[in-house]
Amino acid sequence: MSSSILVVGSVALDTVETPFARVEEVLGGAASYFSTAASLYSPVNLVAVVGTDFPQEYLEFFRRRAINLAGLQVRQGRTFRWFGRYHLDMNVRDTLDTQLGVYADFHAVIPPEYRDSSLLFLANIQPGLQQEVLDAMPRVRLSVLDSMDLWINTARPQLTEVMKRVDIMLMSEEELRLYTGCSSVVAGTRQLFSLGLKYVIVKQGSYGALLFGQDGSYFSAPAYPLEEVVDPTGAGDAFAGGLLGYLSTVEPEPDGHYRFEDLKRAVVHGNILGSFVCEDFSIRRLQQLTLADIAARYQTLVACSHFDPNWLPSRSSETSTAG
Ligand code: AMP
């Protein structure tokens, strides 16, 4: 049996430039990428706002997936817009413009039918808004938080308050350094655990992701080796969609905790969804994706990251034992 997932975050119109191509005002936003990915696994309850200029075709797309729009407000005004440009190293991008539009004075309203959602994803959005949703969902089983450099720089105290109340924090390696001031990832995560987080997942772009547990547990998940990256926008949000999507299909322990083995699998699902989203602009690649495509990439990652537990070739270990 799968559990439903609640997400709050941006639904946007993105303009994206890479060294090779450009698209204008396509469906974007952290919550759009997340919902499209996670709805491959379980129903998603979306909390967001769009303006009256938001294209009807995108609303229809959400409706065709198992994405509940009862918490999506349509308000007089302009939809959130974001303009980003990538470098030749597509792990690096510049934000050229952000227009909050209807998000500027948005307050989340959680429809009663969303209250039973077991999993909560606080996608990248103002920490104050993330706080409001946390307040409205006191009985959620697992809460996962994402953010970005903008909020670390401009709303750090509020972001810290949210971090104190969630189970898992997702951060890129650069964000972890910015927030903690530590050059070492391991030392940085230790600082985050002092806030009470159970797990920290460090996203490393095209290099994969690291899972750290408060109890010292650790897992390094490889990235899928993609030959061609068209547009990495939304990779972090699709990662979260794969992570929570997978966890929504898993029965936790009787005390509500997830087994570490399941968290490891969830991070691998995250990397897989992140890899697919990079193969086209917007959510296009995720639209045709099936669970069979995910399964095939899962097997590839198992094969390319598994290695022999014997640390020396058997001949040398015999020699060393004999000698
Ligand atoms: P990612 O590539 O995973 O960091 O996600 C990029 C998405 O986040 C884009 O689709 C943007 O529309 C959205 N985004 C960018 N800046 C912001 C912001 N300040 N608040 C909320 N969403 C944003």
Domains of the chain: 5-306 (3.40.1190.20)
- Please say if the pLDDT value at position 106 is more than 90: yes
Separation of CA 146 from chain center: 7
Would you tell me how many other CB atoms lie within 10 Å of the CB of residue 220?
14
Provide the β-strand partners of residue 50.
Answer: 74
CB 63 within 8 A of CB 25: no
Protein residue closest via CA to atom 9 of ligand 1: 29
Would you tell me how many other CB atoms lie within 10 Å of the CB of residue 186?
11
Does residue 236 have its Cβ closer than 6 Å to ligand 1? Answer: yes
Does residue 29 have its Cβ closer than 6 Å to ligand 1? Answer: yes
Closest ligand 1 atom to 14 CA: 12
Protein residue closest via CA to atom 18 of ligand 1: 125
| pLDDT of res. 171 | 98
Does residue 12 have its Cβ closer than 6 Å to ligand 1? Answer: yes
Protein residue closest via CA to atom 12 of ligand 1: 29
| pLDDT of res. 323 | 39
| pLDDT of res. 316 | 58
Nearby residues of 295 by Cβ (< 8 Å), 6 or more positions away: none
Quote the pTM value.
0.95
Does residue 235 have its Cβ closer than 6 Å to ligand 1? Answer: yes
- Please say if the pLDDT value at position 317 is more than 70: no
The kind and range of the H/E element at 287 are helix 284-287
d(CA 236, CA 223): 13
| pLDDT of res. 318 | 53
**In 3D, which of 162, 170, 165, 157 has the Cα closest to residue 140?**
165
Average pLDDT of the chain, as a whole number: 95
| pLDDT of res. 206 | 87
Q: What mean pLDDT do residues 30-55 have?
A: 98
- Please say if the pLDDT value at position 40 is more than 90: yes
